[in-house]
Structure formats: C-alpha cells, structure tokens
C-alpha cells in the first residue's frame, strides 16, 4: 500500500517528520503542487523553489521515490492521485497561514471520509504557534516575553529531534515500476546573477550552516557590518525547509560561543513572525494597529498588477510624484547611496542585508510616505526568502503599524546608518559604482524635511 508524501515548505530528506512517518509505512511517492488558490509565490522565490525541487527530486530518486509535480487546487489534485494510484495514507508537515491551514483541514476531512489515513507533523517552526501563550492564554504581541517563553519549548523540541530523528530513514523506498521523472530545469528568471549568488537545496543548506558555525563567535560584532556579510544566509533555505530549524537550533546550541545566544534569538524572530501571522491571518495586507488606517500613505492598488514577472525594476508609471518615487526606490535610483545600494543588491542577488532592509523600508514608508504594502509587494517579488509572515511582520515593524513595531518617530537616517555600518563605503561602492560621479542622481527627497513631514503626519493620527 502506497503512502503519499505531500511536500510543501519542507524540501529536504533529513529531519523530516512526515518523510520519516511515510517511510515507516511502506513505499512512498512524493508530490509537490504549485498551488493556484492563494497568493502566488513571487518571481525570485519561485526561481529558488524550482532549483530546490530539482535537487529534492534527485535526492529522492536515489531511494526510488518519484516526485510528482502538479499545478492547481490541492483539494482537487490530492483526491484524484489518491484514487488513481490506490494510495492508502497521506502525510505532510504543517503550515501556519490560516487560508492554507483551512485547505489542509478540509483535505484531511475529505480524505478521511474516503477511508484514507492522514497524518500531519510539526517541523517548520521551533515552536507551534499554540504552544506558546501569555498567562491569559492569548498569543504574544511583544517579542521579548515571547522569546523568553519560546526558548524552553524550542530547546525541548530541538533536543527531541536530535535524539529521535534519523538523518534519512534508510528504509525509505518508492513503489515498484514507477518512472522517476526528473523535471526539466525552468529557465532562471530575470536576474541571471541569481544563478551565481544562490545555491538552493538541502546539501547547500547544510554546508552553509556548517560554514557559518565555524565563525559563530564573530556574529555579535560582525553581523551589522555591511561589507563583511557575516550572517548565516540561511533565510531562503529555512523558508523552503531545506534544513530543519530544530537542527539549526541544536547544532548552534551545542557551541559555547559569544554568538550562540544572539543567533538563537534571531531564529526566534522568525518564529515570532509566524506566531503573529497565525494569530492575525490578514497581517500580510492589513495594518495591525488600526489607527494607521487613517494614515495618509500613498497607495495605488493597481501597482500590484504590474509586478507579475517584472522584467526591469524601472516600471514606466504615471508621471506623478508618488509613482516616480516608487519607481526610483525599486530601481535603486533615489540618490540616497545606502538605499540605492540595498535596492540594487536586492535586484541582483534576491537578497539584502537585514539592516539595509530596515533602512530602505523606513525610507519608503516615512521619508517617501508610501504605503508599506508597496514595499512588501516588491520584496515579495524580488526576495528569494520572501514569506508571508517575515515579510509582512518586518514591513509593519518598519512602518510603525505592527504590534511590537519600531516606534513611528524612529526614522532611520540612511546617511548616519551608512557611516556607522559601512564606514569606508565598501558596500555602497560595490552596488553603486557611479556614486560620487556626476552621473549619480541628486536625492529625490530632502531627508530632514521629509522626516519632519512624516512626524507631523504621525501626530495627526496619534
Ligand atoms: P541571520 O542574521 O543569519 O539570522 C538567522 C535567521 O534568523 C534568518 O535566516 C531568519 O530565518 C531569522 N531572522 C533573523 N532576523 C529576522 C527577522 N527580523 N524576522 C524574521 N526572521 C528573522 N526574512 C525572511 O526570512 N523573509 C522575508 O520575507 C523577510 N522580509 C523582511 C522584510 C523587511 C522589511 C525586513 C526589515 C526584514 C525582513 N526579513 C525577512 C528578516 C531578515 O532581514 C532576514 O531574515 C535576514 O536578513 C536573512 O539573512 P540571514 O539568514 O543571513 O540572517
């Protein structure tokens, strides 16, 4: 009897609870669905995911397990495969955005009604969102108490994972006589540099963790240096579950270093973002603090339609200030060197240093007074690590509209930030070679004046 393993954000073989469960139940077939019923994945993340799926298909083929690929609605696709291939059990690792949880719950019920055994497993987060709550049983709104409560739970899960889980169950096997199609590589998307910069897949994720942990002691001092890039670069690997978050925790915790606690706390920020999205499923589109609904951010819903498979960041727009500013921000042509460096790094590599993400987000939402959703949408298309929780959570943090947000009046000054974190301008010059020449544009906005305008606008809704 066949077991169907539905892969989602868990594109790995090791430390994969659903895979282990499937292997224990006999021959396995893998499935991946490009789901069309919710917000579709952004272009850069899609590119990453394609490479990752290819690596996964290769790794599964070693065990004789095929990876089927489908596009559409899982509520239709799964029951069809189950009956066509006479599948007896279905399993997957959980996900935590309510619209997707609802799909999973419906599917579970429908399949069980058909007499199919269905099992879901934890594994994407350090803590399940319902495992950590305040004294009154509500979700946390503030990171510090959350992280204190989550720490012990995360540590317990990591310990259990390491104790119980085998790297890849050696008895994992596929059905007899089923072809193992390795899907064609999709053409890389618009930015060919992504191919150079990104190395998706389980093997690369493990190597990255290994390399990073060798320098863990440098993390506290060097993580904010823009030129050095001393962070782990694990975010996209974690986004697609190419490495188990419990393993990352356990291997880090085993090292006695100055960087250990700080890095583990960073991992908890990821959990916190999902904790919040689980509690507030509309956090990806709606202000968490309602008073910001009265805030006068510039907003044009039709901008979103222009983002599908962008071919260049300079999208021709209506010639008004707002559209011009938004286009200049996306293209990295604002005349503010640190902002431009970050936006060009994003375009070329599918990533951006966390500090610069905060600076460009503050600049867009405060100095330019543009709605954070425009920033969130651009990041959604261009970041390889974009996910609905971390992206929205951090945008609302930067914009001031989130629960535990940076206070609105804390407006990053991109010039001071550059002096502090890129003192010899290595990072800026890497991405903005024309900086300091006549061809570099003047700033599109006066930092001091626009800061005051932002503060006044905030006073009006306080
Ligand atoms: P490290 O410093 O090595 O951190 C380790 C891991 O901790 C990261 O891989 C990530 O999983 C987690 N982490 C660290 N900081 C955060 C944080 N603030 N929020 C959530 N998780 C965190 N991160 C995403 O993974 N996806 C996003 O879509 C995303 N959008 C962002 C948007 C904005 C406006 C900002 C300011 C930040 C965003 N981040 C997002 C958070 C952060 O910038 C990246 O996780 C980080 O830069 C990834 O690099 P790293 O793996 O080297 O990080």
- The residue nearest atom 12 of ligand 1, judged by CA position, is 267
Give yes or no for residue 267 CB within 6 A of ligand 1.
yes
Q: Give the distance (Å) from ligand 1 centre to CA of residue 85.
A: 40
Task: Say if residue 102 is in the same domain as residue 219.
Answer: no
Beta bridge partners of 30: 5, 67
Query: pTM (2 decimals)?
Result: 0.95
Burial (CB count <10 Å: 0-12, 13-18, 19+), residue 109: exposed
Final residue of a structural domain among 234, 259, 281: 281
Task: Say if residue 226 is in the same domain as residue 268.
Answer: yes
Please give the number of the atom of ligand 1 that sits closest to the Cα of 357.
36
Whether this model's ipTM surpasses 0.95 comes out as yes
- Report d(CA 193, CA 198) in Å as an integer: 9
Q: Is residue 409 part of a domain?
A: yes
Task: Say if residue 394 is in the same domain as residue 344.
Answer: yes
Q: Give the distance (Å) from ligand 1 centre to CA of residue 288.
A: 20
For residue 326, give every residue at least 6 positions away whose Cβ sits within 8 Å of its Cβ, in sequence order, or none. Answer: 298, 303, 317, 364, 368, 370, 374
Q: Name the DSSP class of 186.
A: P
Find the Cα–Cα–Cα–Cα dihedral 442, 447, 449, 451, rounded to 10°: 150
Give yes or no for residue 365 CB within 6 A of ligand 1.
no
- Report d(CA 104, CA 18) in Å as an integer: 14
- The residue nearest atom 29 of ligand 1, judged by CA position, is 391
Q: Is residue 176 part of a domain?
A: no
Q: Is residue 152 part of a domain?
A: yes
- The residue nearest atom 50 of ligand 1, judged by CA position, is 233
Give yes or no for residue 270 CB within 6 A of ligand 1.
yes
Greatest Cα pair distance, the chain, in angstroms, is 72
> Residue 295: which of 435, 202, 405 has the closest Cα?
405
Task: Say if residue 375 is in the same domain as residue 273.
Answer: no
> Residue 63: which of 14, 108, 105 has the closest Cα?
14
For residue 387, give every residue at least 6 positions away whose Cβ sits within 8 Å of its Cβ, in sequence order, or none. Answer: 45, 239
- The residue nearest atom 11 of ligand 1, judged by CA position, is 235
Task: Say if residue 132 is in the same domain as residue 68.
Answer: no
Beta bridge partners of 370: 298
Give yes or no for residue 159 CB within 6 A of ligand 1.
no
Task: Say if residue 14 is in the same domain as residue 133.
Answer: no
**Tokens 């419990």 — which residue?**
246
Count CB atoms within 10 A of the CB of residue 79. 17
What's the structural domain count of the chain? Answer: 3
Q: Is residue 171 part of a domain?
A: no
> Residue 457: which of 369, 381, 387, 328 has the closest Cα?
369
Task: Say if residue 130 is in the same domain as residue 117.
Answer: no
Give yes or no for residue 3 CB within 6 A of ligand 1.
no
**Angle (nearest 5°) at CA 67 between 246 and 310:** 80
Asked if residues 454 and 462 have their Cβ atoms less than 8 Å apart, the reply is no
Task: Say if residue 109 is in the same domain as residue 38.
Answer: yes
Final residue of a structural domain among 251, 281, 311: 281
> Known binder of ligand: residue 219?
yes
Q: Give the distance (Å) from ligand 1 centre to CA of residue 103.
A: 27
**Tokens 């009265």 — which residue?**
294
- The residue nearest atom 42 of ligand 1, judged by CA position, is 354
Asked if residues 340 and 327 have their Cβ atoms less than 8 Å apart, the reply is no
Please give the number of the atom of ligand 1 that sits closest to the Cα of 232.
3
Q: Give the distance (Å) from ligand 1 centre to CA of residue 235.
A: 6
> Known binder of ligand: residue 224?
no
Final residue of a structural domain among 123, 138, 172: 123
At residue 68, the 3 state secondary structure works out as strand
For residue 129, give every residue at least 6 positions away whose Cβ sits within 8 Å of its Cβ, in sequence order, or none. Answer: 96, 139, 274, 275, 278, 279
Q: Give the distance (Å) from ligand 1 centre to CA of residue 269.
A: 8
Q: Give the distance (Å) from ligand 1 centre to CA of residue 355.
A: 10
> Known binder of ligand: residue 435?
no
At residue 229, the 3 state secondary structure works out as coil
For residue 323, give every residue at least 6 positions away whose Cβ sits within 8 Å of its Cβ, in sequence order, or none. Answer: 300, 303, 317
Contacts 24+ apart (CB under 8 A), 21-24: 21/91, 21/119, 21/121, 22/89, 22/91, 22/172, 23/169, 23/171, 23/172, 23/173, 24/169, 24/171
Q: Name the DSSP class of 145.
A: H
Q: Which H or E run contains 30?
A: strand 28-35
Beta bridge partners of 5: 30, 91
Cα 438–chain centre separation: 38
- Report d(CA 202, CA 195) in Å as an integer: 16
> Known binder of ligand: residue 63?
no
Mutate-to-test residue for ligand 1 from 213, 220, 234, 235, highest number of ligand atoms within 8 A of CB? 235
Give yes or no for residue 264 CB within 6 A of ligand 1.
no
Task: Say if residue 354 is in the same domain as residue 403.
Answer: yes
For residue 62, give every residue at least 6 positions away whose Cβ sits within 8 Å of its Cβ, in sequence order, or none. Answer: none
> Known binder of ligand: residue 404?
no
- Which CATH number goes with the domain that contains 94? 3.40.50.620
> Residue 381: which of 43, 51, 49 has the closest Cα?
43
Task: Say if residue 247 is in the same domain as residue 139.
Answer: yes
- Report d(CA 402, CA 405) in Å as an integer: 5
Asked if residues 92 and 31 have their Cβ atoms less than 8 Å apart, the reply is no
Give yes or no for residue 236 CB within 6 A of ligand 1.
no
Count CB atoms within 10 A of the CB of residue 457. 15
The pLDDT value given to residue 178: 73
SS3 content of the chain, % helix, strand, coil (to 5): 50, 5, 40
> Known binder of ligand: residue 233?
yes
Q: Give the distance (Å) from ligand 1 centre to CA of residue 385.
A: 8
Asked if residues 248 and 126 have their Cβ atoms less than 8 Å apart, the reply is no
- Which CATH number goes with the domain that contains 357? 1.10.579.10
- Which tokens is 162 given? 């390491």
Q: Name the DSSP class of 370.
A: B
Q: Give the distance (Å) from ligand 1 centre to CA of residue 113.
A: 40
Q: Give the distance (Å) from ligand 1 centre to CA of residue 259.
A: 17
> Residue 395: which of 411, 385, 406 has the closest Cα?
406
> Known binder of ligand: residue 67?
no
Q: Is residue 188 part of a domain?
A: no
Report the sign of the C-alpha dihedral through residues 50, 54, 60, 65, in that order.
Answer: positive
> Known binder of ligand: residue 231?
yes
The pLDDT value given to residue 309: 47
- Report d(CA 10, CA 15) in Å as an integer: 10
- Which CATH number goes with the domain that contains 217? 1.25.40.80
Task: Say if residue 140 is in the same domain as residue 45.
Answer: no
**Domain assignment of residue 86, given as a range:** 2-123
Find the Cα–Cα–Cα–Cα dihedral 10, 11, 15, 16, rounded to 10°: 60
Q: What is the pLDDT along the chain (462 residues), one digit of tens a residue?
A: 899 999 999 999 999 999 999 999 999 999 999 998 889 899 899 989 999 999 999 999 999 999 999 999 999 999 999 999 999 999 999 999 999 999 999 999 999 999 999 999 999 999 999 999 999 999 999 999 999 999 999 999 998 887 776 688 889 999 987 777 665 555 545 556 777 778 999 999 999 999 999 999 999 999 999 998 799 999 999 999 999 999 999 999 999 999 999 999 999 999 999 999 999 999 999 999 998 998 889 888 888 776 654 455 444 444 588 989 999 999 999 999 999 999 999 998 999 999 999 999 999 999 999 999 999 999 999 999 999 999 999 999 999 999 887 778 889 999 999 999 999 999 999 999 999 999 999 999 999 999 999 999 998 888
Give yes or no for residue 59 CB within 6 A of ligand 1.
no
Asked if residues 17 and 123 have their Cβ atoms less than 8 Å apart, the reply is yes
Task: Say if residue 137 is in the same domain as residue 233.
Answer: yes
């Amino acid at each position: 009897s066949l077991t169907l393993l539905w892969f989602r954000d868990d594109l790995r073989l090791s430390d994969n609870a659903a895979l282990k469960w499937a292997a224990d139940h006999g021959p396995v077939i893998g499935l991946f669905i490009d789901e069309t019923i919710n917000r579709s994945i952004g272009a850069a993340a899609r590119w990453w995911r394609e490479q990752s799926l290819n690596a996964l298909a290769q790794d599964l083929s070693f065990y004789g397990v095929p990876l089927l690929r489908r596009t559409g609605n899982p509520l239709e696709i799964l029951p069809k495969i189950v009956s066509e291939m006479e599948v007896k059990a279905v399993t997957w690792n959980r996900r935590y955005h309510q619209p997707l949880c609802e799909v999973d719950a419906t599917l579970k019920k429908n399949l069980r009604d058909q007499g199919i055994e269905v099992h879901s497993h934890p594994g994407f987060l350090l803590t399940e969102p319902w495992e950590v709550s305040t004294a009154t049983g509500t979700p946390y709104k503030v990171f510090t108490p959350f992280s204190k409560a989550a720490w012990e739970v995360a540590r317990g899960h990591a310990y259990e994972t390491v104790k119980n889980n085998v790297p890849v169950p050696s008895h994992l096997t596929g059905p007899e006589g089923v072809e193992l199609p390795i899907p064609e590589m999709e053409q890389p998307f618009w930015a060919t540099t992504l191919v150079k910069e990104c190395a998706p897949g389980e093997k690369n994720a493990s190597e990255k963790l290994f390399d990073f942990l060798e320098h863990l002691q440098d993390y506290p001092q060097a993580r904010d240096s823009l030129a050095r890039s001393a962070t782990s670069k694990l975010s996209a690997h974690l986004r697609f579950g190419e490495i188990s978050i419990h393993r990352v925790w356990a291997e880090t915790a085993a090292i006695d270093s100055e960087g250990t606690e700080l890095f583990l706390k960073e991992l908890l920020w990821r959990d916190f973002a999902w904790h919040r999205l689980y509690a507030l499923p509309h956090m990806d589109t709606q202000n968490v603090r309602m008073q910001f609904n009265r805030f006068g951010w510039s907003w044009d819903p039709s901008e979103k339609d222009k983002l599908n498979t962008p071919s260049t960041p300079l999208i021709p727009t209506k010639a008004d200030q707002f559209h011009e500013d938004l286009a200049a921000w996306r293209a990295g042509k604002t005349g503010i060197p640190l902002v431009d460096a970050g936006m060009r790094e994003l375009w070329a590599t599918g990533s951006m240093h966390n500090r610069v993400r905060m600076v460009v987000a503050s600049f867009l939402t405060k100095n330019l007074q543009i709605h954070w959703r425009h920033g969130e949408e651009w990041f959604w298309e261009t970041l390889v690590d974009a996910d609905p929780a971390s992206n929205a959570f951090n945008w609302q943090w930067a914009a001031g509209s989130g629960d535990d947000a940076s206070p609105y009046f804390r407006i990053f000054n991109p010039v001071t930030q550059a002096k502090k974190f890129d003192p010899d301008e290595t990072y800026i010059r890497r991405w903005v070679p024309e900086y300091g020449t006549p061809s570099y544009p003047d700033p599109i906005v006066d930092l001091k004046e626009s800061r005051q305008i932002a503060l006044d606008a905030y006073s009006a809704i306080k």
